[in-house]
Amino acid sequence: MVASGRFEDILLVVLAYFLRRHGHYMVHAFGAAWQAEQGILLIGGSGSGKTTTGLNLITQGWQLLANDAPLLTERPSGVFALPTPGLVSIRPPTFGLLPRLLGLLGLAAVPQRQIWFAAARFGAAAPAVPIRKLFFPHITDQPTSHVEPLNRAVALAQLLEESVDRWDAATTNGHIALLERLTMQASVYTLHLGRNLAQIAELVVSG
């Protein structure tokens, strides 16, 4: 159960109730940081391409914040993401798309099944960083990738949909207010994922 990440999932669900009451809210996203200054979130459900996109950034020098459920909290200077690195699950097709992962993880061949790795295998975790950009990825069959500015109200609606927390009366207002401030603080984009993965890191930086 520990190796498959199920224990981690159960632990996060149990802790979520208490974390909310201390101003820490979870969102279903892949978090990464560049030079400890630019934090980004790749937000979406299973199959949206967020994990492959995030791992692509990690192989190009970014630091891992969270594979699945970063903690968001507000500080005087803005909304920050706190690292919750945990375990990272990788399916065999991802290794085909990102061959650098094999060397990064010290593997001689592509695993034959989904496999979980401790976040430490990807280098030091990023510190808490302000979130500068939000990306909502989806996979296309186009040869190249591109970003498209997203309406902030639409971004807020999608953030609410991808919240890991279960809403409760005591924390709902604070949670929604934090997500609204996040959409005002960060630049928000739809990330159209094409077949040219090498292009994505540059797109994410340039916006």
- Taking only the tens place, the pLDDT of each residue in 101-148 is 999 999 999 999 988 888 888 888 888 999 999 999 999 999 999 999
CA distance 35 to 20: 28
Specify whether the CB–CB gap between 16 and 165 falls below 8 A.
yes
Q: Which domain holds residue 66?
A: 6-206
Residue 39, strand partner residues: 33, 131
Domain count, the chain: 1
**pTM score, whole prediction:** 0.90
Q: Which residues contact 179 (CB under 8 A, 6 or more apart)?
A: 25, 27, 72, 156, 159, 160, 163
Residue 24 within a domain:
yes
Residue 27 within a domain:
yes
Which CATH number fits the domain that encloses residue 106? 3.40.50
